[in-house]
Amino acid sequence: MNDEIFIEIKALRKKYGGIQAVNGLDFMVMKGDIFGFLGPNGAGKSTTIRMILSLIRPDSGLINIFRLPLVKNRKRILTDIGALVEEPRFYEYMSAYKNLEILGKLSGKRVGKKEIMNALSLTGLENRSGSPVKTFSHGMKQRLGIAQAIVHDPELLILDEPANGLDPRGMKDMREIILRLNQEYGKTILISSHILKEIELMANRMIIINKGEKVVEGNVHELLDAAKLDLRIEISDAAKALELLEKQYIKSDVWLESENHLVLKASKAEAPAINKSLVDAGFSVYSITPINSLEQYFLDNT
Amino acid sequence: MLSLITIELNKVFRRKRSYIGFLALLVLVSVLQFAMWLEGKTLLDMIMQNLKDAFVIQGNLLNGYFISFMLMNTLWVLMPFLVTFVAGDSIAGEAHSGTLRIMLTRPASRAAFVIAKYIASIEYTLLLVLFLMLLSLGVSSLIFGTGDLIVFRSQLTIFPESEVLPRFLMAFGFAFLAMSVVASLAFLFSTLTNNSIGPIIGTMAIVISFTIITNLNLAAFEVIRKFLFTTYMSSWTLFFDYQLDWAQISTSILVCLGHVAVFFTLALWIFNRKDILT
């Protein structure tokens, strides 16, 4: 990863009426990152993204992009940003091509037929370029949202919940497009989501925010490694199995979740040995499922 | 900027609803022309009944100019409503549909965006007025022919045919300015809300309220009347006075231009500070 800072946010604040939507937020996105911006609904993700895109004025704080203050360099900065803010909306009565042509013309760069078709091709819409957007499914509109963000070949992509409302297949397609944009085309990407798994599968760095404040920020794998995995064990007689495991592990690391479920603080690698020991003791083990404690952490703290 | 204006005009004229105004004018003008073709002579005879004893009337008075003058008198009630469709929808419509945020993530400045949208709204207003001129003056002249124009205002005036066309051109020119005031007001309201019904209803409510105040001959309204744009909206008729009152015409033009400037400046100021939340 390059150490060049692409986005620098410091002490960012925004209040709507009596509600503090963003409260002293700090974070940095480096060149080459897929930076996960995670938080529950209403955490302040969209407000922050809108401030980065100058759709909303911050009450206070600093936003530097490409090391330039946003306020004084809006035009220069937005020329090199492609954005998808929440659900993408288009001129429904126009074709996908015409929409991209209009948005390309406003991008501050030369965008011709080749660039438009490249963007449509990368998002799998090249065969529907002439169709009016009103005939598109939700998933196709989401992909067209990505196409309009990349049509002018920006260095930085800001994607606000791009997988929102998509079915599992659509989410997978979207994930593949985003990873390809990062790995093959070298785009730096800030991606917001309220789904930890999505971020975990794509991002190298991430921040979790809640109520407009930072909860945790760091390298995704370091955060996941630091947060040890728990194992949820579905078993025939959980109470008896608990007695056995309390002897083998630290007492506080194992607890009864329900009549047939135990939770044990242990890594995924320990699962086979635990399974063997329980089966050898005469228990019927129905399943052992790793629980990401970062997910638990996210749920507990947001 | 030219690119932005082209895009905005493209958006306006690719939408079917933008043609509602043109269609409404076409239908109404055609109906009125047909009615005049059927009964215009009877109507004109009734009007001229008393005059026939004192004057010898020659030539064709039921001509395209007369029909056009009648149409202008009738349709200025409808025109403000048609103008607000596009101007009122200009920003609020995009805010409602969510396309505003996608446009504003592009590097064009907000001021350039507002100016382009405003110019597109004013161009639409101009085309609507020109369309009315073409239908009422052009088509009526083809159907009914041309001739002297008889006008009933504070006095009866008959304009010789050679004088009529320049007066109509000036009248339509002023009418465009008056409609631009309405379009500017609708545009201003469009920056304040996130749906296009609000600006359309708001503008019409103001036009109707101000028109009532303008026409009520009450001393209490005397002070404010001269500041209301509705007082000057019918000033196109000044171009059909026998002696053109240039002082009154200039005042009307200046007041209308003043309103246009104030409404546009306010729209620009508001939009530059607006948080885009839709």
Please report residues of B whose CB lies closer than 8 A to that of A105: 3, 7
Q: In whole numbers, what is the pLDDT of chain A averaged over residues?
A: 87
Identify the three-state secondary structure at position A28.
strand
Asked if B102 lies within 8 A of A85 by C-beta distance, the reply is yes
For chain A, how big is the Rg over CA atoms in Å?
Answer: 23
What does the alpha-carbon distance between residue B208 and residue B73 come to, in Å, rounded to a whole number? 16
Q: Report in angstroms the alpha-carbon separations of B267 from B92, B111, B264.
A: 12, 10, 5
Please report residues of B whose CB lies closer than 8 A to that of A53: 104-105
Name the minimum distance, in Å, from the CA of B232 to any CA of chain A.
38
Q: How many residues does chain A have?
A: 302
The partner residue sitting opposite B107, judged by closest CB among A75, A91, A148, is A75
Name the minimum distance, in Å, from the CA of A4 to any CA of chain B.
23
Q: What is the pLDDT of residue A228?
A: 61
**B60 close contact with A: CB closer than 8 A:** no
CB contact burial B84-98 (16+ within 10 A = b; e otherwise): bbbbbbbbbbbbbbb
The CATH class, in words, for A228-301 is alpha beta
Name the minimum distance, in Å, from the CA of B201 to any CA of chain A.
24
Name the minimum distance, in Å, from the CA of B262 to any CA of chain A.
25
- The CA-to-CA distance between both ends of chain B, in Å, stands at 25
Q: How many residues does chain B have?
A: 278
pLDDT tens figures, B17-34: 889 889 999 998 899 888
> Nearest residue on chain B to A107, judged by CA atoms?
B106
Q: CB neighbours of B66 closer than 8 A, spacing ≥ 6? A: B44, B144, B147, B149, B150
**B160 close contact with A: CB closer than 8 A:** no
**B-interface mutation test, from A68, A91, A95, most B Cβ less than 10 A away:** A91
pLDDT tens figures, A177-234: 899 999 998 999 999 988 777 888 888 898 988 888 888 888 887 777 665 678 889 9
Identify the three-state secondary structure at position A95.
strand
Tokens for B193?
């809300």
Domain range A5-225, its CATH number among 1.20.1440.230, 3.40.50.12160, 3.30.1380.10, 3.40.50.300: 3.40.50.300
Which of A124, A126, A132 shows the shortest CA–CA distance to A96? Answer: A132
Instruction: Give the count of Cβ contacts less than 8 A between chain A and B.
Output: 74
pLDDT tens figures, B150-184: 887 777 788 888 888 999 999 999 999 999 999 99
pLDDT band at A1 (very low <50, low <70, confident <90, very high): very low
- Tell me if B190 sits within 8 A of B91, measured CB to CB: yes
pLDDT tens figures, A224-275: 766 567 888 999 888 888 888 888 877 777 888 888 889 888 877 788 888 9
pLDDT tens figures, A138-174: 888 988 999 999 999 999 999 998 887 778 888 888 8
Pairing of strands A213-219, A254-258: unpaired
> Nearest residue on chain A to B11, judged by CA atoms?
A91
Q: In whole numbers, what is the pLDDT of chain B averaged over residues?
A: 87
Asked if B10 lies within 8 A of A74 by C-beta distance, the reply is no
pLDDT tens figures, B191-242: 998 888 899 999 999 999 888 888 887 877 788 888 888 888 888 888 988 8
Residues 5-24 of B with CB under 8 A from A: 7, 10-11, 14-16
**B49 close contact with A: CB closer than 8 A:** no
| Domain spans of chain A, in order of start | 5-225, 228-301
Q: CB neighbours of B178 closer than 8 A, spacing ≥ 6? A: B229, B232, B233, B235, B236, B256
Please report residues of B whose CB lies closer than 8 A to that of A164: none
Report H helices in A113-226. 113-122, 138-150, 168-183, 196-202, 220-226
Name the minimum distance, in Å, from the CA of A222 to any CA of chain B.
34
Instruction: Count other C-beta atoms under 10 Å from residue B112's C-beta.
Output: 16
Residue type, A178: I
